[in-house]
A and B are shown apart, each in its own frame.
Chain A
Amino acid sequence: DAKTTQPTSMDCAEGRAANLPCNHSTISGNEYVYWYRQIHSQGPQYIIHGLKNNETNEMASLIITEDRKSSTLILPHATLRDTAVYYCIVRSNAGNMLTFGGGTRLMVKP
Chain B
Amino acid sequence: NAGVTQTPKFQVLKTGQSMTLQCAQDMNHEYMSWYRQDPGMGLRLIHYSVGAGITDQGEVPNGYNVSRSTTEDFPLRLLSAAPSQTSVYFCASRPREANTEAFFGQGTRLTVV
Contacts and interface: CB of A to CB of B under 8 A. Distances in A.
Interface of A: 32, 34, 36, 41-46, 49, 87, 93-94, 96-103
Which of B90, B101, B103, B105 has the most C-beta atoms of chain A within 10 angstroms of its own C-beta?
B101
A98 B102 CA distance: 9
Which of B44, B102, B106 has the most C-beta atoms of chain A within 10 angstroms of its own C-beta?
B102
Contacts of B88: 41
B42 A87 contact: yes
A100 B43 CA distance: 6
Contact of A43 (B31, B59, B104): B104
B27 to A, nearest CB: 13
B50 interface: yes
B101 A97 contact: no
B45 A97 contact: yes
A101 B42 contact: yes
Contacts of A97: 31, 33, 45, 48, 58, 92, 102
Interface string B23-67: 000000001010100000111110010100000101100000000
12 contacts: A36-B102, A42-B106, A42-B107, A43-B4, A43-B92, A49-B101, A94-B98, A96-B31, A96-B56, A97-B31, A98-B43, A98-B45
B107 A43 contact: yes
B41 A43 contact: no
B99 interface: yes
Which of A32, A43, A98, A99 has the most C-beta atoms of chain B within 10 angstroms of its own C-beta?
A43
A100 B35 CA distance: 10
Given A41-B88, A99-B45, A103-B42, A46 B102 contact: yes
